[in-house]
Structure 1
Amino acid sequence: MERLDVVIKNGKAVLPDGVKETDIGIKDGRIVALQKGIQANASVMLNAENHYIFPGVIDVHVHFSEPGRESWEGFHTGSMMMAAGGCTTYFDMPLNGIPSTVNVKALTEKAEIGKLKSFVDFSLWGGLVPGNEKDLEPLAEAGVIGFKAFLSETGNKEFASVDDMTLLNGMKIIAKTGKVLALHSESASITNWLKAEKEQAGAFSADDYLESRPIMAEVEAVERAIYYAELTGCPLHFVHISSALAIEKIEQAKHSGMDITVETCPHYLLFNHQHLRELGTIAKCAPPLREKEEQEKLISLVINQKFDMVSSDHSPCPFDLKDPKKHHLFAAWGGISGGQFTFLSMLELAIKYNIPFETIAQLTASAPAERFGLSEWKGKIAVGFDADLAILSLEDSFTVTKENFLAKHKESLYIGHTFPSMIVATISKGKIVYQDGKVVAGKANGEWVKPEKDEYVK
């Protein structure tokens, strides 16, 4: 009888063409069998009866602020949180750590920390900032997943937003490397001008904050980036898009043949501006949570598959930086802490709006793998692929508490929210890393994943 490392019996596997009841056999970190009635000796036998098995989430947008700001979030706590959320690969953004990931030295330093501390696999973004254009090609050769730039102020003195000349020059170089440029797309001119007006008037309410970052600012930045990409041939990925009008502009560009993808985040789909009014700084992010009508438009766009993927934009900080007793809404740090809940959020929407589970798998796993060069071994349940899996129960709910939210800081928009499903287990390359509410991996086992076939940095 064949010897396997893990056999998962009787589960409902979410495959690219639908849900299928099957067993899954795993050996040496890979899926080696996908059929009913697997007969094998295995070190671990899991009964997944009445459970759904999804490909592990690939979250392309998280902020783990290590090195330099591990007190905000680091690879250790951050990766445990991601594992608890069914995520088996995440992409760490280049800012908030010190130094920012804008050259090969900083990239290498961050990668070594990640390999030492991460419980699941990770990739690393490089940054495009004024003055680092000469570093872009070396970063690409060293294995960044892509590049990130800001068209509005970052709030981070170590990672400046780009001016138009830097953006054009950077796009031209990035196009040569074959990498993707991810953009935070809000117009600095519009948002800075409106913010200054509000501050001068002493107007710091939730409504004032929303008015200082209007949909117009997002749309202007998106359109400008599209024009520049057309000039330079640079592939684009628009992060955390929060408006239907911006998607309309992106759709037009896609239909003209441009190489563009777009994500939104769960907090724009589950929450809206009323939550900022009620909760204050905990619900502050940029772009801001939109009015309920806009939220409903975004949900429709997800249902109609106008977003390529959904990512968390996990952006934590110590509560001191959000404390409303110390900071008015404009001065408080902006970012939603919630990387653990992307998968559960999308399942909530799937259940409520009858979105096929294979669409959820596409949004959270296969589309990210395809876009960023990992699709030959990650992103779906198939023989020969990494055994990266999330096992889900629809018979149980999950209410977020400070105890079961595994991020370093427990203040979050999601605290108290009840999801209508629960993650039973997360498996990373054949190893159970999360089960029955606990991270169970004995040691950090994550690898730095580069966007080439089977190219892992040990």
Structure 2
Amino acid sequence: MLFEKKLFTGAKLVLPDRVLEASLATRAGVIEGILQPGVKLPGYEEIDVTGKILFPGLVDPHVHMWDPSPLNYREDWVCGSQCAASGGITTIVDMPLSVPPVVDHEGFVLKRNVAEQASCVDFAFWGGLTPGCVDSLAELDALGCVAYKGFMSFANPDYPQITDGYLVRGMRNAAAFGGLIGVHAENAEIADFGSREMAARLGADPTLHDEARPWWAELEAIQRAVLLARVTGARLYICHMTITQGAAFLKKAKSDGVDVTVETCPHYLLFDKTILREKGPYAKCNPPMRSRENVDALWEYVFDGTIDTLGSDHGPYADEEKVKHGNFFKEYSGFGGYDAMLAGMLTEGVHKRGLPLERLAALTSGNPARVMGLAPRKGSLLPGTDADIAVVDLDAEWVFDGTKSLSKTKSSHNIYHGSHLKGKVEQTWVRGELIYDHGTIKAARGYGRFVAKQK
């Protein structure tokens, strides 16, 4: 029966400020209480998770589901949500680049209807930030969108770049209702010019993607976005930041009182640009992978709190699409892999670098939920929140196989394919119901619910 009472026993709970050996009681899909180990509750089904770690279900703030869209052969809400569940993700925050995009009431309702019929995890939506919709942000806010995404770089004809004048206008409109403006921060002309120049150098090493779209093109856009947010009073979210120079600047901006949230992606903390020689276009993304020195230094800003959130930027392509031009610098940018996100961070962050579990939970759940306006309903294992739980074997050692992913795009070219990982999601619970169990999806299509921004 749905929403029956449950008592999770024998595990350690990752709470916002500590890791605690305790039992966790849930009732009607909500966390009811945290109890001393060994306490029994009559009428509660006992879930024995002895020796495991209970994480708050992940809130992924940066997903491209490709659905609704003619491109949903890459990923759709059925497969994409199941893939998310296998990685401990219980709430997907989907970007607005569907077809049609979420820039008005029609686009919002269409996406919500599709997701409600298909998703097995909960979901929230970014709204669009394009020149044509900057005056529709209040309408999207009323519908429940959590934030508004613009590309300072060139995007695509269906989702045009937000140039500076429109960005200022959008920021002013969002500031009027406390809306969150998110940006892909790269200087458009520098990145485009460099990419076209590199594409003309036939046979150029793929690691030169880092030079085609250089660190200073990213830094300039970050600085410009912060300035515009400062003068308009807007809340700002920097998507997928890759550079230590940007982190240092944003750390200072925060100390100066700018309301800016900083996101990076697991792949920028796990891989450096040499992965492009091994995986080729299958590992290409924007902004680019950077040097190993940059990767190692970026971790300092994970530990000190400058980086607030981890977003997967999950957005797979079919294998043939990633090599259709025969020129690395002309190929599509982006890939999937959020089913390996938590395991990758446990491996590299917790086991290798000593990242505290509660800090990892803040990056992957607590902070995204708070910044996106989904807290207190989402984001922790504290009483009163939805019973969204990832059951993790912290010491399980395994090898990720992209051909067995639950994503619609299964591939040995997956950037995580062949990765040796330590720490594995065994079960995922959404609102008190088991939806993923040791490789098997348990939930029916459409179990997931839309979660609006909390007013």
TM-score in terms of structure 1 length: 0.95
| Deviations 1:39-79, CA, capped at 9 Å, x for gaps | 23457432111101010001000000111121111111111
| Deviations 1:229-285, CA, capped at 9 Å, x for gaps | 111111100011000001111112111111100011000111111101221011100
Structure 1 residue 106 displacement after superposition: 0.2
Show the counterpart of 2:50.
49
Structure 1 residue 38 displacement after superposition: 3.5
Q: Say whether 1:352 aligns with 2:352.
A: yes
Show the counterpart of 2:111.
110
Show the counterpart of 1:415.
417
Show the counterpart of 2:184.
184
Structure 1 residue 403 displacement after superposition: 4.3
Q: Say whether 1:329 aligns with 2:328.
A: yes
The answer on whether the counterparts of 2:317 and 2:335 sit within 8 Å (CA) in structure 1 is: no
CA distance in 2, matches of 1:421, 1:298: 22
Show the counterpart of 2:427.
425
Show the counterpart of 2:193.
193
Q: Say whether 1:243 aligns with 2:205.
A: no
Show the counterpart of 1:22.
22
Where in structure 2 are the equivalents of 1:248-397 lying within 5 Å? Answer: 248-323=248-323, 326-348=325-347, 349-397=349-397
The answer on whether the counterparts of 2:65 and 2:72 sit within 8 Å (CA) in structure 1 is: yes
Gaps of 5+ in 2: none
AA aligned to 1:113 is: V
Show the counterpart of 1:134.
135
Show the counterpart of 2:62.
61
What secondary structure sits across from 1:20 in the alignment?
Answer: strand
Shift in alpha-carbon separation, 1:4–1:278, aligned structure 2, 3 A: closer
AA aligned to 1:286 is: N
CA distance in 2, matches of 1:205, 1:395: 37
| Deviations 1:145-191, CA, capped at 9 Å, x for gaps | 1100001112x321011111111111111111211011100000211
The answer on whether the counterparts of 1:204 and 1:328 sit within 8 Å (CA) in structure 2 is: no
TM-score in terms of structure 2 length: 0.95
What secondary structure sits across from 1:397 in the alignment?
Answer: strand
CA distance in 1, matches of 2:109, 2:206: 41
CA distance in 2, matches of 1:440, 1:41: 26
AA aligned to 1:145 is: V
Show the counterpart of 1:77.
79
Show the counterpart of 1:456.
none
| Deviations 1:185-212, CA, capped at 9 Å, x for gaps | 0000211222232234446431332211
Deviates more, 1:259-268 or 1:304-313: 304-313
What secondary structure sits across from 1:147 in the alignment?
Answer: strand
CA distance in 2, matches of 1:52, 1:183: 34
Show the counterpart of 1:88.
90
AA aligned to 1:347 is: L
Deviates more, 1:392-401 or 1:357-366: 392-401
| Deviations 1:421-455, CA, capped at 9 Å, x for gaps | 111111100000111111111343111101116xx
CA distance in 2, matches of 1:63, 1:42: 41
CA distance in 2, matches of 1:374, 1:66: 22
RMSD of the alignment, in Å? 1.6
AA aligned to 1:343 is: L
CA distance in 2, matches of 1:180, 1:368: 12
Shift in alpha-carbon separation, 1:209–1:387, aligned structure 2, 3 A: same
Task: Give the paired residue count.
Answer: 448
Show the counterpart of 2:148.
147
What secondary structure sits across from 1:396 in the alignment?
Answer: strand
AA aligned to 1:125 is: W
Structure 1 stretches of 4+ moved >6 Å = none
